[in-house]
Amino acid sequence: MKRILAIILCFIISLAAYGVDLTVGSNVGAAGTSQNVIHVSLANDVTVRGVQLDLTDDPDLLVPDSVVATERTENFTIVPQDNDGVLTILLLSLDGTTIQPDSGEIFKVYFSISPDAQQGQELDLIVENSVIVHKEGDQTIYLPVTVNNGKFYIQNTTDVGDEDAVKPSDYALMQNYPNPFNPTTTISFSLPGKTHVMLNIYNTIGQLVRTLVNRSFQPGKHQVVWNGHNDAARELPAGVYYYQLMTPDIKMTKKLILVK
């Protein structure tokens, strides 16, 4: 009997060592826009059979549009339910499919932002009541979860100057300010016409660490604030980074410095 209890205890301890990290990403969005994406990622050392969580937001300013599976969960059934600022998301495996040990996105949540949202607001995205399930034979194991919450930053696209100001005649990407910076910096750019814009942050070996903007913009001068975090809402180490403005017509890159 003692031996059996010891084996069971070792089994429980070994599973406890397989805690998972659940991370809600952060993003920047403008008031009155839709399809603003938040990436939810999972780092797990054992297979995961199911996920359930409550994601709280500001119901007056954020409205969930949809929840979409990623490559890691493409065979799962996703059941979202929004209830006055609490978005319950359930990932079900109906055929025994599991999320394999790895780290990366497990689903994306798309939000619409109210036109009433104000420039500079920070909207918390907080996970509550998270349940991550591992199956060992017929036994269901509830894994310990470490949660990293995210934020939505309201950074409206703004024309600098009067409404009747002359539109820029060409593309321009300005030096970020302040630079060096900690904790935030502002990146400004100008567009001569309506176009799709991507604004990305890269490290010194060319790896994409953050997508700040990926949508259509009106002509004019615009500003975006970066908080030094990557797409998984984790703080990046101090150092040199590059920010790149891309449209169907141009590609511009400048250097910035993050300090601690």
- Rounded CA separation 41/237 (Å): 20
Q: How far, CA to CA in Å, does 240 sit from each of 8, 223, 227?
A: 50, 21, 14
Residue 249 and residue 144 share a domain: no
Q: How many domains does the chain have?
A: 2
Residue 127 and residue 53 share a domain: yes
Residue 25 and residue 147 share a domain: yes
Written as tens digits, the pLDDT of the chain (260 aa) is 545 444 444 444 444 456 799 998 887 778 878 778 888 999 999 999 999 999 998 888 888 888 888 889 988 889 888 888 899 999 988 888 999 999 888 998 888 888 888 877 888 899 988 999 998 888 888 999 999 888 888 875 544 443 334 457 788 888 888 889 888 888 888 888 899 999 999 999 999 999 999 988 888 888 888 889 998 888 899 999 999 999 999 999 999 999 98
Residue 60 and residue 142 share a domain: yes
| 36 part of a folded domain | yes
| 167 part of a folded domain | no
Whether omega before 168 lies within 30 degrees of 0, making that bond cis, reads no
- Last residue of one domain, picked from the residues 119, 154, 189: 154
Residue span of the structural domain in which 220 resides:
172-258
- Last residue of one domain, picked from the residues 127, 154, 181: 154
